[in-house]
Chain A
């Protein structure tokens, strides 16, 4: 089955992100396809490489990045939500005149159309959040 995943919450404030990670891993292990993971609302905070949790805690951002690399997974951060919350890639840095960027490896910033397209293209859309 082809899944689209939507993550609506930040990585440490809410369990949604870790639940999504666990779901995605289990789905891949079971032979399913993840069409795309779309990060929306505070979920965009999953995509900053500046996240530095204590060493005895899970590094959720890194876990997403590793998952993306291992399975060539499409991790998309919503541009409108990202701009509000200061998640920046090189393109956004240039467009908005910022002095740096913080997007984590394996993530890309794109539009809400990517979420709608994921809903259209996938067999199931699974939303993680309140």
Chain B
């Protein structure tokens, strides 16, 4: 496919309780094969999707959180987390998984995938998108 579009996946729900988070991640992984300009946003309870140390043993359902670490290998390395959503839930970036990617344009230097942005900054980023999936 010749034309590259700016794709953003907006995640708004907690990782467990509903299947939206997991099925969103499945779209992101499949979509990566289409080589679009992909970014992923986490807002509202969606920020919990990136919380580190998730343990679903007692829930009896699959813990899919390790999959987020693979996003860097799929060239999905623009991950935006809304600052206000973190703060409202008593979280900081230190509570989130340390997602990295290797920058092929910078001698494969390891870089952070997660960027904490304000709601206003995220609005600007959203404004630039051509295709927005919301989950």
Residues of A within 8 A of B (CB): 6, 8, 40-41, 80-81, 84, 111-113, 115-117, 119-120, 125, 127, 129
Q: How far is the CB of B29 from chain A (nearest CB, A)?
A: 9
Q: A41, A111, A113, A127: which contacts B23 (Cβ < 8 A)?
A: A41
Q: How far is the CB of B36 from chain A (nearest CB, A)?
A: 7
Q: Which residues of A contact B26 (CB under 8 A)?
A: 80, 112
* Contact between chains at B27 and A125 (CB < 8 Å): no
Q: Closest residue of chain A to B7, judged by CB? A: A119
* Contact between chains at B1 and A112 (CB < 8 Å): no
* Contact between chains at B27 and A116 (CB < 8 Å): yes
Q: How many A-B residue pairs have CB under 8 A?
A: 46
7 nearest interchain CB pairs? A112-B30, A119-B131, A116-B31, A116-B34, A125-B131, A112-B27, A127-B134
Taken together as a complex, chains A and B put the C-alpha atoms of A8 and B18 apart, in Å, by 12
Q: In chain B, residues 17-53, which have Cβ atoms closer than 8 Å to a Cβ of chain A?
A: 19-20, 23, 26-27, 30-31, 33-34, 36
Taken together as a complex, chains A and B put the C-alpha atoms of A2 and B39 apart, in Å, by 23
Given known A113-B30, A113-B33, contact A120–B1 (CB-CB < 8 A) = yes
Q: List 19 A-B contacts (CB under 8 A).
A: A40-B23, A41-B19, A41-B20, A84-B19, A112-B30, A115-B27, A116-B30, A116-B31, A117-B34, A119-B5, A119-B7, A119-B131, A119-B133, A120-B1, A120-B5, A120-B34, A120-B36, A125-B132, A125-B133
Q: Which residues of A contact B31 (CB under 8 A)?
A: 112-113, 116
B106 is an interface residue with CB less than 8 A from chain A: no
Q: How far is the CB of B18 from chain A (nearest CB, A)?
A: 8
Q: B19, B30, B131, B134: which contacts A111 (Cβ < 8 A)?
A: B30
Taken together as a complex, chains A and B put the C-alpha atoms of A8 and B133 apart, in Å, by 11
Q: Which residues of A contact B132 (CB under 8 A)?
A: 125, 127
B94 is an interface residue with CB less than 8 A from chain A: no
Taken together as a complex, chains A and B put the C-alpha atoms of A79 and B33 apart, in Å, by 17
Q: How far is the CB of A87 from chain B (nearest CB, A)?
A: 14
Q: Which residues of B contact A115 (CB under 8 A)?
A: 27
Taken together as a complex, chains A and B put the C-alpha atoms of A19 and B117 apart, in Å, by 33
Q: Which residues of B contact A41 (CB under 8 A)?
A: 19-20, 23
Q: Which residues of A contact B3 (CB under 8 A)?
A: 120
